[in-house]
Amino acid sequence: MFKTLVNAFKVPEIRKKIYMTLLMIVIYRVGCHIPIPGVNAAYIAQAMGSFDALGFLNLLSGGSFKDFTIFAMGISPYITGSIIIQLLQVAIPALEKMSKEEDGRKKLQQATRWTGVALSLIQSVGIVLSLGPSAVYNPNFFSYATIGIVATAGTCFLMWLGERITEIGIGNGISLLIFASIASQIPQAIEKYGPYFGAGKLYPLWTIPVILVLMLAIIVMVVFVNEGVRKVPVQYAKRVVGRKLYGGQSTHIPLKPNANGVMPLIFALTIMQFPLMIIQIVDKNYQQGNIQGFTAFYMNYLQQGTVAYYIIYALLILGFAYFYTTITFNPIEMSKNLQQNGGFLPGIRPGKPTSDYLARISSRLTFFGAAFLMILAIIPNLLLGIFNFKSPFGPTSVLIIVSVALETMDQLSSQMLLRHYKGFLS
């Protein structure tokens, strides 16, 4: 990895992309410290301790929500909007048809942006209103309008920033913004929970090596699975074109066991946090300590730590994993392309048998990847629950950081390889 970075800085084009990426991340972090006028940030930071869901939102926004800066909503409204649009593609055939066309994909991308803008406006104003008049210095229409417009503009800027990183930088822009948000909370997590470790304190000293070993095991597992490849052999038949003989070579189709990355996990986690956020913000009885009705049922049977919570969480990860696979991998199209180019899988007939074979392999790999994400998302949380260790920065955050880092390094290596071939051909 370090050798790849050193070699990348020797190439002017790639060095420029790296600098542009770092510059945009710095701009993002600077914006995380510019407060929205008229907001009582101290009151919101105090209230955030009573709402677990707001702590998750604060993590994804890189601590911006706690200070309620211009990036308080972070990139999460765009992620939620992406979930909505992609689910609608499955439910509405017309949208699914649009997703297969170049112009249609651009329209769906625009719809995702507008959905993210609408959600950012609703969330920013709704959260501040639900926290009461103490959250704003001068609670009136213009104050709330200012908060909604500035917070929404911040989300719009982050969407633009993420797209620019993807276009002219290194890696996936949205993923890198999430990476920067979570990584920025590591020092604060150490500062917050450090004093609780020691003799006679909340956490004994022996829990520190246990947590470190757990995090190291997560990193090793993520690297092992992400770097794994299932190679499907492909043979190209020889053919005569004019007086020349073409084909006859052997190659393979690389299929990753966790090709979807952390997106199923992020989507599932966002949906699992959504009901609790609504309850904690909307239910006035809950805010007063009087839990009853549906809130009591949710807190007893569906909140984090319950069996039903982890079952639903696991099913959502599994569902989103298969959902993303159906979008990104089309075995029928791949079978047609192989057949048109004279390729075939050894021992498999071309056409439908080939597509069925590829679909079967893809389904097994998807299940393995989803099971891997479920284990990393649930088992470490259960182990940390034994120590009563609660922090927004947990195993899921480690998984996201490592996966994004590996994805970015893979793209950097690909660009290095592409540049090498370009130089050779020229």
- Tens of pLDDT along 191-203? 776 666 666 666 6
Q: Mean pLDDT over all residues of the chain?
A: 80
Q: For position 207, what pLDDT does the model report?
A: 74
* pLDDT at 42 exceeding the cut of 80: yes
Q: Which of 261, 209, 309 is nearest to 408 (CA)?
A: 261
Instruction: Delineate the domains of the chain, giving CATH numbers in brackets.
Output: 1-184 (1.10.3370.10), 199-393 (1.10.3370.10)
Average pLDDT over residues 378-406: 72
The Cα 226–Cα 317 span in angstroms is 17
- Tens of pLDDT along 294-335? 777 777 777 777 788 888 888 988 888 888 888 778 888 888
Q: For position 153, what pLDDT does the model report?
A: 93
CA distances 426 to 47, 140, 404, 413, 419, Å, are: 61, 65, 33, 20, 11
Over the Cα atoms of the chain, what is R_g?
24
Q: For position 106, what pLDDT does the model report?
A: 86
Q: For position 425, what pLDDT does the model report?
A: 43
Average pLDDT over residues 175-196: 79
Average pLDDT over residues 213-242: 79
Confidence at 422, pLDDT banded by 50, 70, 90: very low
- Tens of pLDDT along 124-174? 888 888 777 888 888 888 888 999 999 999 999 999 999 899 888 888 888
Helix (H) or strand (E) holding 250: strand 250-255
CB 392 within 8 A of CB 185: yes
* pLDDT at 424 exceeding the cut of 70: no
Positive or negative torsion for Cα 161, 166, 169, 170: positive
Q: Which of 191, 220, 188, 214 is nearest to 385 (CA)?
A: 214
* pLDDT at 100 exceeding the cut of 80: no
- Tens of pLDDT along 269-302? 777 777 776 776 666 666 556 666 777 777 777 7
* pLDDT at 346 exceeding the cut of 90: no
Q: For position 12, what pLDDT does the model report?
A: 81
Q: Which of 296, 265, 258 is nearest to 279 (CA)?
A: 296
